[in-house]
Amino acid sequence: MFVQIKNLQYQYKNSTEPVLKDFSLSIEQGEIITILGESGSGKSTILRLLSGLETPKSGSITINNHLIFSGHHVMPPEKRNVGMVFQDYALFPHMTVEKNIKYGLKKMNRREKQKRMEEMLELINMTNYKNRYPYELSGGQQQRVALARALAPAPSLLIFDEPFSNLDANLQIKIRDELRGILKKTGITSIFVTHDQADAQAIADRVVFIEKGVIKQVGKPEEVLGCASLVMWANS
Amino acid sequence: MRHGVRTIKSKFNIWAILSLIFIAIILIPNGLIAVNVFTESNENWQHIKEYLLKEYITNTVILISFTALFSMMIGVSLAWFVTMFEFPFRRFFKWALILPLAIPPYIGAYAYHGLINYTGIIQSKLRNDFDVTVNQDYFSIMNNQGAIFIFSIFLFPYVYTITKAFLQNQSSSIIENARLLGSSSFETFFRVILPISRAAIVGSVTLVVLEVLNDYGVANYFGIQTFSTAIFRTWYGMKDLDSALKLAGALMFLVIFILVLEKVSRGRRRFSFSTTKVRPIQPKKLKGVKAWLLAGYCFTVFGVAFLIPFTQLLYWAFLTFESVFSSEFIQLIYQSVFIASIASILIVIIALIIGNYTRLHKSLLTSLISRVTTLGYSIPGAAIAISIITIFVALDGYLADLYRTLQIEPVIILRTSLVMLVSAYIIRFLAIGYNAVDAGYEKMGNTFTEASRTLGFSTVKTFFKVDLPMMKPAIFGGFILVFIDVLKELPLTLFLQPFNFATLATQAYKYANDERVHEAALASILIIIVSGIFIFVSHKLLEKEPA
Ligand SMILES: Nc1ncnc2c1ncn2[C@@H]1O[C@H](COP(=O)(O)OP(=O)(O)OP(=O)(O)O)[C@@H](O)[C@H]1O
Ligand SMILES: [Mg+2]
C-alpha cells in the first residue's frame, strides 16, 4: 500500500475527549480518496496529522515506504513531502502567482523552476496570469493556483481540506470535474475532505465515511453514499 | 515513554529557547525586588517605615484616586459625546482630543507652572495691566491638586480613545433599543452605555493609574513625596540601595493590588469588542444650543489639555531658540533618536520571536509567557531602575573577577554603558511592542505559515520568507509606538543614562529643575511634535481601515 495510516490517536490539548481514537486507513498509489463526514467529525484533524501540523499521540503513518510518523519518530511537515490545499487557499499575498508556484521548488535551479512553473500554469489553464497578485484573482482562479502551488514540488501525497467551500455552486461543479481530470492526469495520490456528498461522488475513487473520528464505511462512492446520506439525514 | 521525550524535544526549538531567555531577563529584576522584601532591613529602612512611608502611601493614593476619577469623567464623557452625537467640529475633535497624549505630564507641568507662577504671563498681565496682585497660595500648582490636574488633563486620552473605540464597535441596536424603550439620551448613558463599556473604562483607567505610578517628573518638580521620588532619593541621597529596593517592593504591592482590583471590577464581561459588527452606531444630530455646548466643552478640554500648553511652549521655544539650539542640542537629538531606535528595534525583534513561539505552540507555558511579556508595563520605572542597577552592579562585580583571573585588560563596565539603559527600556516597553506584533500575528493567522511548511520550509525559513514580509505593517506600528514611548521616557533614562549621555527628555527635565523652564521648551516641543505627528497619522490610518 502506498499510504498506510495505522491506529492513530489524537486529542487536542484543551479538550477532554479524543478526536481520533483508533484511525486506520490504507491508500493505493494514484487513488483519490474522499473523507466524508459531518462538521466536527475530525476530518481536518486527520489531514493535519498527515501533513505534520499536529502530532498524534500514538499510531504510525507511512507514505511510499517512508515512515513519517511513529511514536518515537516525528518527521516535521517540511520533510514529509505531503502537499496541502487549504480551505482558504493560503496563497501568499505578497507574492505573484509565479512566485507562489515557484515557492516550494527549492531544490531546482532557475531554469527548472521556470519550466515547472509554466507546466503548472498550463495544467490549470492560467498561463496569462503569472504576474497577478492573489487579490487580483477570482475565487476559482485562486483555488487553481493553490492547487498548482501544492502540485509543483511533486508531493507523494496531496491533501485537500474542503477545497470548494468558498466557491459558488456553479463554479464548484465545474472545478471539481476539472480537478479530477488534473489529478488523474498527474497520477498523484490524493485525499479530499468534504461534507458534501455530491463532491464525494464526483471526485472519489473511494469514499471513507466517518462519524466522530471513527470510520463507519469505506467503499466505492455509490456503495457508501446511500448509507452516509441516511446517517447524515438522521443526525440533522 | 519514548513519545513523551520526543514531544519535549520538538517543543524546545530555537523559538522556545530564545523566548525563555527573554522572559528570564524580564523576570529576574522582578524576582530580585520580591526577594528583597524578605531580607533583613537596616536602620534606614526602620526610619523610613516609621516616619516616611505613610506619607508616600498617602500621597500616591491621593494622586492615583483623584486622577482616576477625573480622567474617567473627562474621557468617558468625551467618548460618549463624540460617538453618539453630531455637533460642530466633531470630526476634528475626534482626533484632536487624543493629542494631549503627545504631551508627557512632566512637560505639561513645566508649561503650566511657567504659565501661572509669579513671572508667568497670567500674573504679569494681571499686575501690569490691571494692577492686581494675587495671593500666591491660590496661584500655585505645585501641590497635590496641581499634580492631579496635570495628570488628569494629559492622561484622560487613554480613557477617551479606548472607550471610544469600544463604543464605535458596538452595534447600534443596543442604543436604539434603549431609545425605543423610551429612555432619554441621558438615561441611556447611565443605564446602557456605562454598564456595557465597564470593562473598557476600567481597563483604560488602570492604564492611567499605572502612568501616575510610573511618574517621577511631575512629583519631583512639584516637590511631592511619592514612591517614585522616594525610591530615587533613598538611592541617590542616602546611597541606600537596599532600602530603595524595599520601597520598590512596597510599590509593587500597590501595583499588584491595582491589577487585582482591575480584574475584580471589570466584571465577568471580557474587554472584547464585538467583532460581528452589524451596523455601527449612527450619531444623533444635535441642533442649536445643545450642539454648541458640546462643541464648547470639547474645545475647552482641547484648549486646556493641548492648545494652551503647546502655544506656551512654542512661544518659549522661539524665545530661547538661539541660545538653546547649538551643536550640543543637535547631538542631543541624535542621541535621543539613536537610543530610541536601538531600543525599538530590539523590542520588536524580541516581540516577533516570543510572538511566533506563543502562536505556534499553544500551551500553558506559552500563555504564561505572553502574560509575563506584558507584565513589564505595569511596573513603575523607579522600580525597574533600582532593580536593574542592582543587577548590573553585581554583574560588574562578577565580570571584574573574571577579567582579573583571565588577566584581560580592556575591562568592560556594564554599569556605565548604554546596555543598562536599553535593558531597562526592553523590560518596560516590551509589552507595547508585543501587543502590536501579537495583533499582527493574530490578524495574519497560522495558515500561511502552515502552507509554507507543507511546501518544505522550516519555521525559521518560513519566518523570513513569509511571516516577516506579511507582518510589515504590524512591525512598523510596533516600532513607532515603542519609539515614541522611549523618546518621552523620563525616570529610567534619568537614572540609568551614562554620565556623558542625555536625551531630549532628560535635558528638558534638567533645564526645568534648574529654574530655566523657558530653555526646556525647545526639547519639549520636539518631543510633542514627533508624538503628535504619529498620533495624527495613526488616527488617519485607523479611520481608513474598512470596518
Ligand atoms: N484547535 C482545537 N482545539 C480544540 N479542539 C479542536 C481544535 N480544532 C478542532 N477541535 C475539535 O476537534 C473535533 C474535530 O475537529 P475537525 O476540525 O477535525 O472537524 P471537521 O470534521 O474538519 O469539521 P468541519 O467540517 O466543520 O471542518 C471537533 O469537535 C472540534 O471541536
Ligand atoms: Mg474541517
User: Which among A8, A12, A13 is the best mutation to test ligand 1's pocket, defined by most ligand atoms within 8 Å of the CB?
Assistant: A12
Same domain assignment for residues A225 and A161: yes
Does the C-beta of A194 come closer than 6 Å to ligand 1?
no
**Is residue A84 less than 8 Å (CB to CB) from chain B?**
yes
Q: CB burial class (10 A; 0-12, 13-18, 19+) of residue A108?
A: middle
**Into how many domains does chain A fold?**
2
CA distance B280 to B283: 9
Decide if A92 and B451 are in contact by the 8 Å CB cutoff.
yes
CA distance B128 to B288: 39
Q: From its phi and psi, is residue B281 left (phi > 0), alpha (psi between -120 and 50) or beta?
A: beta
Are residues A90 and B450 in contact, defined by beta-carbon separation less than 8 angstroms?
yes
Same domain assignment for residues A137 and A160: no
Same domain assignment for residues A195 and A108: no
Whole-Å CA distances, B152 to B62, B229, B310:
13, 20, 16
β-sheet bridge partners, residue A4:
A26, A62
Same domain assignment for residues A223 and A128: no
Which residues of A fall within a CB distance of 8 Å from B12? none
Residue A86 lies in a domain: no
Of B477, B309, B495, B368, which is closest to residue B420 (Cα–Cα)? B495
β-sheet bridge partners, residue B391:
none
Q: Quote ipTM for the complex.
A: 0.91
Same domain assignment for residues A130 and A119: yes
**Is residue A222 less than 8 Å (CB to CB) from chain B?**
no
Same domain assignment for residues A73 and A182: yes
Mutate to test the interface with A, among B446, B454, B468 (most CBs of A within 10 A): B454
Same domain assignment for residues A160 and A231: yes
User: Which among A9, A15, A17, A50 is the best mutation to test ligand 1's pocket, defined by most ligand atoms within 8 Å of the CB?
Assistant: A15
Same domain assignment for residues A121 and A68: no
Are residues A101 and A149 in contact, defined by beta-carbon separation less than 8 angstroms?
yes
Same domain assignment for residues A21 and A133: no
Quick one: cell of B488? 518621552
Q: CA triplet A55, A60, A62: central angle to 5 degrees?
A: 110
What is B1-35+308-547's CATH number, 3.30.70.2340, 1.10.3720.10, 3.40.50.1220, 3.30.830.10? 1.10.3720.10
Residue A135 lies in a domain: yes
User: How far does A59 lie from chain B, in Å, by closest CA?
Assistant: 11
Of A137, A186, A179, A92, which is closest to residue B453 (Cα–Cα)? A92
Residue A222 lies in a domain: yes
3-state secondary structure of B141: coil
Count of A–B CB contacts within 8 Å?
Answer: 73
Q: Is the pTM of this model over 0.90?
A: no
Same domain assignment for residues A165 and A196: yes
Angle between helices B472-488 and B418-444 (to 10 degrees): 150
Tell me how far the alpha carbon of residue A156 lies from the centroid of ligand 1, in angstroms: 26
Quick one: cell of B418? 548604554
Ligand nearest to the Cα of A194, by number: 1
Same domain assignment for residues A66 and A166: yes
CA distance B292 to B290: 5
CA distance B84 to B130: 44
CA distance B152 to B69: 9
Residue A74 lies in a domain: yes
Residue A90 lies in a domain: no
**Is residue B299 less than 8 Å (CB to CB) from chain A?**
no
* Helix residue ranges, H only, B223-363: 227-236, 241-265, 288-302, 308-324, 327-360
**Is residue B366 less than 8 Å (CB to CB) from chain A?**
no
Residue in the block written with cell 515506504:
A65
pLDDT per position as a tens digit, B514-523: 888 888 999 9
Q: Tens-of-pLDDT digits for all 547 residues of chain B? A: 334 344 444 555 889 999 999 999 889 888 888 888 888 778 888 888 878 889 999 999 999 999 999 999 999 999 999 988 999 999 999 989 999 999 999 999 999 998 888 777 777 777 777 777 777 777 788 899 999 999 999 999 999 999 988 888 776 777 777 777 767 777 878 877 788 888 889 989 999 999 999 999 999 999 999 999 999 988 888 888 888 888 999 999 999 999 888 888 876 555 444 445 456 777 888 888 999 999 999 999 999 999 999 999 999 999 888 888 888 899 999 999 999 999 999 999 999 999 999 999 888 888 889 888 888 888 999 999 999 988 998 888 888 888 888 877 767 778 778 999 999 999 999 999 999 999 999 989 999 999 999 999 999 999 999 999 999 989 998 998 899 999 999 999 998 998 889 999 999 999 999 888 888 999 999 999 999 998 888 877 766 544 3
Which element (helix H / strand E) includes B453?
A: helix B447-454
Does the C-beta of A42 come closer than 6 Å to ligand 1?
yes
Does the C-beta of A12 come closer than 6 Å to ligand 1?
yes
Ligand nearest to the Cα of A48, by number: 1
Does the C-beta of A16 come closer than 6 Å to ligand 1?
no
Same domain assignment for residues A114 and A216: no
Which residues of B fall within a CB distance of 8 Å from A100? none
- Which residues in chain A land under pLDDT 70? 228, 230-236
- DSSP states of chain A as a string? --EEEEEEEE--TT-SS-SEEEEEEEE-TT-EEEEEE-TTSSHHHHHHHHHTSS--SEEEEEETTEEEEETTEE--HHHH-EEEE-TT----TTS-HHHHHHTT-TTS-HHHHHHHHHHHHHHTT-GGGTT--GGGS-HHHHHHHHHHHHHTT--SEEEEESTTTTS-HHHHHHHHHHHHHHHHHHT-EEEEEES-HHHHHHH-SEEEEEETTEEEEEE-HHHHHHHHHHHHHHH-
- Any idea where the domains of chain B sit in the sequence? 1-35+308-547
**Is residue A101 less than 8 Å (CB to CB) from chain B?**
no
Which residues of A fall within a CB distance of 8 Å from B466? 92
Name the residue type at position B389. Answer: I
CA distance B342 to B200: 33
Q: CA triplet B489, B492, B493: central angle to 5 degrees?
A: 70
Q: Which atom of ligand 1 is nearest to the CA of B362?
A: 1
CA distance A159 to A150: 9
Residue A32 lies in a domain: yes
CA distance B139 to B120: 11
Decide if B3 and A94 are in contact by the 8 Å CB cutoff.
no
Q: CB burial class (10 A; 0-12, 13-18, 19+) of residue B193?
A: buried
pLDDT per position as a tens digit, B123-161: 777 777 777 777 777 778 889 999 999 999 999 999 999
Tell me how far the alpha carbon of residue A51 lies from the centroid of ligand 1, in angstroms: 16
Q: Which domain holds residue A112?
A: 96-154
CA distance A3 to A29: 8
Decide if A53 and B453 are in contact by the 8 Å CB cutoff.
yes
Ligand nearest to the Cα of A209, by number: 1
pLDDT per position as a tens digit, B176-222: 777 777 677 778 788 777 888 888 899 899 999 999 999 999 999 99
Are residues A219 and A213 in contact, defined by beta-carbon separation less than 8 angstroms?
no
Name the residue type at position B287. Answer: K
Which residues of A fall within a CB distance of 8 Å from B451? 84, 86, 90, 92
Q: How much is the pLDDT for B425?
A: 95
CATH number at residue A66: 3.40.50.300
CA distance B229 to B215: 9
